[in-house]
Amino acid sequence: MSNAIEYRLAELGLSLPDAPAPAANYVPFVQVGNTLYVSGQISMDENGLITGKLGDALDVETGAAAARRCALALLAQVRAACGGDLNRLRRVVKLTGFVNSTPDFTDQPKVVNGASDLMVEILGDAGRHARSAVSAGSLPLGVAVEIEGIFEIG
C-alpha cells in the first residue's frame, strides 16, 4: 500500500512534507499496540503558517485548504512513526479538527471536510473515519486550523 499511497499522492500532485517537530514539551505521536495517536498538526504550507479566523478574514474554501495541509502533515507523522513505511498504515480511525472561528461561524464541518475528503481521496475506504469538528476562539500562533488523528497501523 505504501507504493499505492505515494503513487496516489503523485497522481493528485501532492507530496508529504517533512514531519514537523514538536514546538513544546510533547511528542508528535504515541503508539499503543496497533493504534497511533498523532498530535495536532497546525495549518502551514511551503510559505509558512496559514493564519486567520474563519468567519472573519477567511472563507470556508480557504479553511478547507488549510485543513488539507493539516491532513498531509498528519500523514507525514504517520510515515515518520512507521519508519518511512506507509505500507503499515491500515486505516484512519478518527480525526478531531479545531477551527479558529468567530462565535457566529457555524461551518466548522465544511472546513474540516478538507482533511476528511483528502484522506478518502488518498486512501479510499481506509481513509473513512469518525470525526469531530469544533470551533476554537483562537489556536496556537494564530493558525486557522489544527487537526489531530488516530490511526491503525500494522
Q: What would the pLDDT profile of 72-118 be if each residue is shown by its tens digit? A: 999 999 999 999 999 899 999 999 999 999 999 999 999 999 999 99
Residue 39, pLDDT above cutoff 70:
yes
49 contacts 23 by C-beta, under 8 angstroms = no
Residue 2, pLDDT above cutoff 70:
no
User: What mean pLDDT value characterizes the chain?
Assistant: 96
> Can you tell me the mean pLDDT for 127-144?
98
Ordered by start, the domain boundaries in the chain are: 2-14+28-153
Mean pLDDT check: name the lowest of 15-19, 20-24, 131-135. 20-24
Residues whose CB is less than 8 angstroms from the CB of residue 44 and which lie 6 or more positions away in sequence, other chains included? 20, 50, 69, 73, 143
Nearest to 20 by CA among 71, 75, 77: 77
CATH architecture of 2-14+28-153: 2-Layer Sandwich (3.30)
Residue 153, pLDDT above cutoff 60:
yes
Residue 1, pLDDT above cutoff 70:
no
Rg (CA), the chain: 15
